[in-house]
Amino acid sequence: MSRELKVVYDPEADALVIKAGDGKPTYGEELTGQLIVHYNERSEPIEIEVLDATVLLARLVAVMEGSKRAEARLDAQAQGS
């Protein structure tokens, strides 16, 4: 089953909401201090809410950049062998 995702960012709240479908959430479950999953009446996840989104995304970018640098070092070492 394919779902169209809609991403909405609220800069005032620094919250990113990823919506899968048009249904209204009936309840939510906090997974971590920054992630909340919202469910519909059939207990299907329909939204993921990311709180303090800029902090989380900045950390993700830093990890990805570090990963790219590490990969480049490994490639250089493999070519030097």
The residue range of the domain holding 44 is 5-80
For the segment 2-60, what is each residue's pLDDT rounded down to a tens digit? Answer: 568 999 999 999 999 999 977 899 999 999 889 999 999 999 999 999 999 999 888 88
How far apart CA 50 and CA 13 sit, in angstroms, is: 10
Alpha carbon of 61 to those of 15, 23, 29, 48, 58: distances in Å? 17, 31, 26, 19, 5
Q: Could you tell me the pTM of the whole model?
A: 0.69
Choose between 68 and 47: higher pLDDT: 47
Q: How far is CA 56 from the centre of its chain?
A: 8
Give the 3-state DSSP-derived string for 30-62, with helices as H, strands as E and coil as C.
ECCCCEEEEECCCCCEEEEEEECHHHHHHHHHH
Q: Considering its fold, how many domains does the chain have in total?
A: 1
